[in-house]
Structure 1
C-alpha cells in the first residue's frame, strides 16, 4: 500500500460512449449550438478575466516525474540573420529588417492546459474502449487526442471551496467532499446544469509561481466528489491546482483515480492550473467561458487559454 492510501479500492471501469462506437468527444457532446448561443447572449464582454498563467523558463512543471521543463530558444535574431544570411536577402536588407523567431519545447501538461481523453485509461483501454494494441502508434494515440476537443463555449460555475471554508487556501492533501461542493453551491445560490464547466477553487493559485507551494500534495476532489460532480452532467471539470483531484491517492489500486474516473469512466476532459483568484476576489461565481486548445493531433493534452466573462441576468 502506498503512502496516503486508506485501503479503499477505486473500482474504475472504462466506459462505452453513449454517443456511438466512434465517439472521441465524450461529455463535450453536451455542448450544443443553442446552448452556446444562449450563454454568449448573456455575457458581459466589458469585463474579461484571463484564467491562464504565463509560460516562462523556470516555471513550476512536472520535472520530478521525468517530464521536460518549459524551454524557449531564439532560432533567429536580428544580428544573427544579418551574419547567417540564411534567407539570402543580403546583409544590408537583414540589418534593415529586424527578424526574430523562436522555438518552444515543453511537456503538453505544462501550465494552464486541458487533458485529452487519451491521457488516462484502465487496463490498456481509454474512453469508449479504444485499446493501446489497436490505437496507439509510435508517436501518439490515434484516438482521443487533443484535436477532438472543440472550442469550448459554455456556462462556467465557480465552486469556491476555499472561501466556503473561510480560508485563503485549503490544507495540503485535503480531500474535498460532496458536502463541500454542495456547500459551495449553496453559498452562491447556484447549481450545476447539463453542459456546464465546473471550476473548483482550492486557493493554491494564490501562491503561483512558487513551485514549492503550488505543486505537490494538492488539496482536491475525493473520488466520491469527482463522481458526484460528473453526475451533474458537466462537460468539463477544472481546478486551480495540478490534477483536480486530491493527492496522494486515497485508493490502493489507483494512483490517480480521479483522472481515471473523469477521463476513462465519465469522458470528461480536465482543465488544470487555472487562475481563479480574480474571479474569487470579485465574487464572480457564474460566467461565460470561452476556451480552445491547440489542435495537437493525438496529444494527451494541450495548452489552453480560458477566458471568463460575467453573466447578465
Structure 2
C-alpha cells in the first residue's frame, strides 16, 4: 500500500504529515497561530464518542513513579530527579518557621517538600518547541521571536487540551516472541503492519498509538536508557500518515537509539514534532495492557501546565471499551 493511499482526500487535509517536507518545518493547515497540531482532531464529538464507549470498571495506569535514582535522559547533562524535605514535624519544633508556639508545632505535624527535575523525566509528553530545524519549530515559529529569558512563549504544554481518544497498543515485542526487543531494534513500516495484522487492528485518524518494546521490563535499571529499540522515521511516517494524534512508547526516547541518520541525532523527534505536528509520549508503562492483551482502549491524559516548557509530566490512563 502506498503512503498516499492510507486515507481519503478529505481526511488527508486534516493530517499534517501529508504537508511535510524532509528536514523542513511544516506550516499548519489549522492556521498560522496553531500550537497543538494533530490534537486539533479532538473535539466535542470525538470526546463524547470515546467516553460513550468507555468501560470504567477497570483502569490501567500508564505512568511510572518519580523517585531518586530513577532512569532518565541524562545524555546532555540534564539533572536527574531530586526531592528533599523543606519541612518536617520535628524540624518545625526546632526551627519554628511558621512562627507559632511550641505547643502548636507539637500538635500539628507539618511536612513539606520540593522537587527538581528535567521536564522530560518519567512518563511525559514532548511539545513542539522541543525540537525543530534551523532555528524554527512547527508552524514556522522561530527561536529568535519566541524564546524569552526563561522559556518559549509558544507551543508549551499549557496549550495542549486534555486528550480523550481511542488508544491502540502495538505489542512489537510479543510479535517477535520476545520479552524485550533487541538493543537498537528499528521499528519500521513492516513491523507496524505485521503487528496490526496480528492484533486485528487498524490505525484510525484521531488515535493515540502506543508501541511496546518491552523496555519497561528493564526498569528501573539504568540499562533501560542504553541503545533503545524504538521507532525509526519510516515507521513514524507510516503512523503519522494514518492520522495519529499522539505516538508513544515504553522506552526512553520513543525512537531507536543511537540514531541511524548521519546528521540527525533524533530523526523521529524532529519528524514528528516539526514536520508532522504529532506530540510524543515517552516512558509509558504498558506491561499491564500487554498482559491483558488490551490492544484497543479509551485513552485519557492531561499535561501539567508548565507554561512554555518543552515537555511535562503526564499521568495517562487506559480503560477498556464496551
- Under a length normalisation based on structure 1, what TM-score does the superposition of the two structures give? 0.95
Once the two structures are superposed, the pairs formed by residues 81-160 of structure 1 within 5 Å of their partners are: 81-160=92-171
Q: What's 2:269 paired with?
A: 259
Q: Offset of 1:65 from its aligned partner?
A: 2.2
Query: Aligned partners of 1:68 and 1:12: how far apart in 2?
Result: 29
Secondary structure of the residue that 2:272 maps to in structure 1? Answer: helix
Asked if 1:39 corresponds to 2:50, the answer is: yes
Q: For 1:78-129, what per-residue CA distance to the aligned partner results, in whole angstroms no more than 9, with x for missing partners?
A: 1111222222221110110111000010000011100011000000000000
Q: Offset of 1:215 from its aligned partner?
A: 0.8
Query: Aligned partners of 1:145 and 1:285: how far apart in 2?
Result: 30
Moved over 3 A (4+): none
Q: What's 2:240 paired with?
A: 230
Alignment equivalent of 2:229, drawn from 219, 233, 249: 219
Alignment equivalent of 1:269, drawn from 275, 279, 284: 279
Q: What's 1:48 paired with?
A: 59
RMSD: 1.0
Q: For 1:43-96, what per-residue CA distance to the aligned partner results, in whole angstroms no more than 9, with x for missing partners?
A: 111110001001110111223420001000000111111222222221110110
Secondary structure of the residue that 1:134 maps to in structure 2? Answer: helix
Secondary structure of the residue that 1:198 maps to in structure 2? Answer: strand
Pick which of 80-89 and 125-134 moved more. 80-89
Q: What's 2:68 paired with?
A: 57
Query: Aligned partners of 1:177 and 1:63: how far apart in 2?
Result: 26
Pick which of 217-226 and 60-69 moved more. 60-69
Q: Offset of 1:37 from its aligned partner?
A: 1.0
Query: Aligned partners of 1:268 and 1:74: how far apart in 2?
Result: 38
Query: Aligned partners of 1:22 and 1:64: how far apart in 2?
Result: 33
Is the Cα–Cα contact under 8 Å of residues 73 and 252 in structure 2 kept in the other structure? Answer: no
Pick which of 10-19 and 25-34 moved more. 10-19
Asked if 1:293 corresponds to 2:303, the answer is: yes
Q: What's 2:10 paired with?
A: none
Query: Aligned partners of 2:298 and 2:30: how far apart in 1?
Result: 26
Which consecutive unaligned segments of at least 5 residues does structure 1 have? 1-9
Secondary structure of the residue that 1:72 maps to in structure 2? Answer: strand
Q: What's 2:33 paired with?
A: 22
Q: What's 2:16 paired with?
A: none
Q: Offset of 1:253 from its aligned partner?
A: 2.0
Q: What's 1:183 paired with?
A: 194
Q: Offset of 1:206 from its aligned partner?
A: 1.3
Alignment equivalent of 1:170, drawn from 176, 181, 190: 181
Secondary structure of the residue that 1:73 maps to in structure 2? Answer: strand
Q: What's 2:12 paired with?
A: none
Asked if 1:73 corresponds to 2:78, the answer is: no
Pick which of 295-304 and 62-71 moved more. 62-71
Q: Offset of 1:16 from its aligned partner?
A: 0.3
Query: Aligned partners of 1:64 and 1:300: how far apart in 2?
Result: 17
